């Protein structure tokens, strides 16, 4: 299997979905692999025949929107909320059919994927606001899985009825489908600096956010993992999710790196962003060379997609960030100038001076 992996190099919301869609259009993967949960979302935007299509995914990999993908594998590390998955599938299929891409490919969920129930979310709302959690129940459900509660061992045993192209499959069948993949894209969620062991504990998510963790959660075989090409995604101005002071006055989603500062959206001259899942206003920070160096090292990144270049106002700003990334040994291969796949541009083909003269 030829494997490409997409990982986030900051605190999330860098544009992984946008790059995943771009790469799938370019490389025509037959398999999309993930182990996503509901506390983070990916967005992909494309325009066809003058109409804008926006794909927002929490469980599905964005590559499922593209016609080349014949199977989607959701690994045992995924934590599934059945209603979210079903709604997502309905929207994806509706838009695929409208675009002439037919029905969704097979979506195969490993039998040991976890399941999120309402009481998991209630538990997190009662206990997790202080660290800026999205409170979607993922951590609580993961704890229960780790405890090996025999009354709720996995998704195959509870609450997910199969619908449309979605099937829960046995371990051996999941591995057989993995073995049949020729070219695959592996999509991660959240960001490196949110990893539970990557420096910001307890202001983190419930697991690591590295490519090695993702490969483990999805049961990617070692030979494919060792030969994978890793694409890292970064923003010019990284974000963190909102402090949940609406629930806990002392809430904080966490600090930042020593070489970056928290900024305001007014300083950037940009409309405040809100998170895909909670719809709360994001916190925004200056670019950190320390963060990007650690993330590229930890993930073995080959190429970088630098997104939100449209937030910059000068060539010098872009040059400083590109130099910081290049110094790690990874190359900035593409830049993002907006929300759509048509806004992804190869850096070597980009007329930097002309662009910034237009936006000055």
Distance between CA atoms of residues 82 and 115, nearest Å: 8
Crossing angle of helices 289-299 and 315-326, in 10° steps, is 40
Q: Which residue shows structure tokens 């771009």?
A: 22
**In this structure, are strands 42-48 and 51-57 parallel, antiparallel, or unpaired?**
antiparallel
3-state secondary structure of 41: coil
13 catalytic per annotation? yes
- Could you give the C-alpha distances from 218 to 22, 146, 151, 174, 307, in angstroms and in order? 22, 17, 24, 10, 26
Coarse DSSP helix, strand, coil percentages of the chain, rounded to the nearest 5 percent: 35, 20, 45
Q: Which residues contact 201 (CB under 8 A, 6 or more apart)?
A: none
Q: Which residue shows structure tokens 């075989």?
A: 221
Q: Which residue shows structure tokens 């993967």?
A: 29
Query: Which residues are designated catalytic?
Result: 13
């Amino acid at each position: 299997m030829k494997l490409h992996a997409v990982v986030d190099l900051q605190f999330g919301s860098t544009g992984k979905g946008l790059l995943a869609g771009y790469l799938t259009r370019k490389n025509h993967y037959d398999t999309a692999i993930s182990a996503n949960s509901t506390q983070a979302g990916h967005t992909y935007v494309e325009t066809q025949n003058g109409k804008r299509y926006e794909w927002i995914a929490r469980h599905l990999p964005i590559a499922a929107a593209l016609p080349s993908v014949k199977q989607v594998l959701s690994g045992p590390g995924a934590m599934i909320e059945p209603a979210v998955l079903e709604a997502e599938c309905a929207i994806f299929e509706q838009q695929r059919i409208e675009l002439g891409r037919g029905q969704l490919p097979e979506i195969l969920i490993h039998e040991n994927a976890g399941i999120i129930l309402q009481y998991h979310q209630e538990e997190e709302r009662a206990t997790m606001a202080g660290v800026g959690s999205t409170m979607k129940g993922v951590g609580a459900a993961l704890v229960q899985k780790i405890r090996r509660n025999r009354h709720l061992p996995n998704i195959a045993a509870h609450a997910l009825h199969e619908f449309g192209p979605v099937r829960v499959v046995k371990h051996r069948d999941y591995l057989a489908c993995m073995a049949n993949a020729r070219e695959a894209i592996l999509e991660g969620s959240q960001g490196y600096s949110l990893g539970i062991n990557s420096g910001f504990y307890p202001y983190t998510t419930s697991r690591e956010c590295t490519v090695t963790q993702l490969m483990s959660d999805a049961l990617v075989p070692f030979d494919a993992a060792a030969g994978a090409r890793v694409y890292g995604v970064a923003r010019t101005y990284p974000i963190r999710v909102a402090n949940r002071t609406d629930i806990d006055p002392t809430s904080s989603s966490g600090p930042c790196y020593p070489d970056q500062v928290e900024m305001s959206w007014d300083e950037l001259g940009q409309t405040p962003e809100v998170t895909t899942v909670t719809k709360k206003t994001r916190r925004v920070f200056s670019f950190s060379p320390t963060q990007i160096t650690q993330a590229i090292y930890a993930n073995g990144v080959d190429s970088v997609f630098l997104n939100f270049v449209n937030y910059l106002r000068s060539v010098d700003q872009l040059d400083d960030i590109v130099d910081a990334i290049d110094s790690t040994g990874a190359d900035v291969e593409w830049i993002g100038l907006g929300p759509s796949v048509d806004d992804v541009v190869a850096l070597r083909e980009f007329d930097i001076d002309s662009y910034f003269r237009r936006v000055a």
